[in-house]
Amino acid sequence: MLSLIKGFDSQRRPLLDRAFCFRHEAFVEEAGWENLRRPDGREIDQFDTEDTIHVIATKGGEVQAYSRLNPTMKPHVLSEIYPHLASRGLLRDESAWEWSRMGTSKAARNDGRGWNGPIGLLFRCVSYAALINQIDTLVWQAHPVWITRASELGFDPEPLGLPQRINGERIIAAKMHVAEDIFQHMDAAQVPSIHGD
């Protein structure tokens, strides 16, 4: 089941808290991002704001996949932490939002690989969230392999600069357009549906 939460919606706080705990598990415990460690086990940073759209996919009440969308017209991870990745210039536009904190659960990863697994679900959920919020461009930073992977799914990612090493990993910033026809590509790749629990 897909849930979209804007900001810190108090009525959706229990699910949002589960998402923050999921982020701590995914990014601190699994990925080793120690600078994000918090004693309460909830990963929250300065880019979680009232403007943020939290994209949360659950199954049986458990978070399976999570992503965060933030407007590029305001401070976001690329503009404030990694501007050097965008040597061709930062994109700032009302319809361009940053996609960050991309994560899937261990259990979900064990259930499926490739596009018919949790990463495909994450791409579908984020694309749906973008379209219903009039977002036509997503900006992100990740390993360069995601340029190819996004292209396989029908996107046309465009690098914003050359890959650079950050904490020993190669990272590239890119942007990609989101349009309604992307779901036809996802259906062809057998990306899971966002309906059901």
pLDDT at 113: 60
Mark the ranges of the chain whose per-residue pLDDT is less than 50: 196-197
Domain 2-188: top CATH class: alpha beta
CB environment 144-174: b (16+ within 10 A), e (fewer): eebbebbeebbbebebbbebeeeeeeebbbb
Model pTM?
A: 0.92
**Chain segment 107-151, per-residue pLDDT in tens:** 766 555 677 778 888 999 999 999 999 999 999 999 999 999 999
Per residue in 29-40, pLDDT tens?
A: 988 888 889 999
What integer pLDDT is reported at residue 197 of this predicted model?
45
pLDDT value of residue 109: 64
Joined tokens for residue 109: 């990863």
Report the alpha-carbon distance of residue 167 to residue 151 in Å, rounded. Answer: 26
